[in-house]
Amino acid sequence: MVYFLRSSSQLSRPEAEEKNNPKMHSFGYRANALLTFAITILAFMCGIASLSDNFNSPSPSAQVQVLNINWFQKQPNGNDEVSMTMNISADLQSLFTWNTKQVFVFLAAEYETSKNSLNQISLWDGIIPSKEHAKFWIHTSNKYRFIDQGSNLRGREFNLTLHWHVMPKTGKMFVDKIVMPGYRLQDDYR
């Protein structure tokens, strides 16, 4: 930082002065000017690359089916826990641009209880490294435990939300989601 600030003030010197000052042509000054120029251009290109992401208007789609409730029980400490099997299919190809390093995608169960105004529990997540892998279909049980804070899951209605975080090669990260409402847990433990 120090080096950068210093050298930029030297670059802005009027050229006429150069002739009177042999120091301007020394190796140190040349290296300094070159480095400053290179860093400035690099920073500028990073900024442009990040800005160019704003022109992408993606149209992703997703579908989730809950195939089976594997088990549904109350833990000894009083919290409800459920295990389920799901089919997740999504097409996230339009999220990828030339500045996209990866897309982190996860499916979260979101619901409200009398105790908590919002509960978000990630059930499955994955990293999509490239556009070729962005249209996928997966059959899975929940990767992280679906545990409530309390015993409120019987008959509970919940949303399944597919969130994604677009990680750029450089610059700003983008976030969005698709909310899929209308899922409901059964009334009894099993």
Q: How far apart are CA 165 and CA 33, in angstroms?
A: 39
Q: What burial letters (b/e) apply to 117-130, b meaning 16+ CB within 10 Å?
A: eebebebbebebee
Judged by CB under 8 A, the residue of 98, 144, 157, 181 near other proteins is 144
Does residue 25 interact with other proteins by CB under 8 A?
no
Stretch that binds other proteins, among 59-67, 85-93, 97-105, 179-187 (CB under 8 A): 97-105
Does residue 77 interact with other proteins by CB under 8 A?
no
Question: Which residue from 109, 127, 120, 116 is spatially nearest to 180, judged by alpha carbons?
Answer: 109
Does residue 6 interact with other proteins by CB under 8 A?
yes
Q: What burial class does residue 137 get, using C-beta atoms within 10 Å of its C-beta: 0-12 exposed, 13-18 middle, 19+ buried? A: exposed
Does residue 127 interact with other proteins by CB under 8 A?
yes
Does residue 58 interact with other proteins by CB under 8 A?
no
Instruction: Give kind and range of the element (H or E) at residue 102.
Output: strand 100-111
Q: Interface residues with other proteins (CB under 8 A)? A: 1-3, 5-6, 23, 28, 46, 50, 101-102, 104, 106, 108, 113-122, 125, 127, 129, 144, 149, 163, 165, 167-173, 175
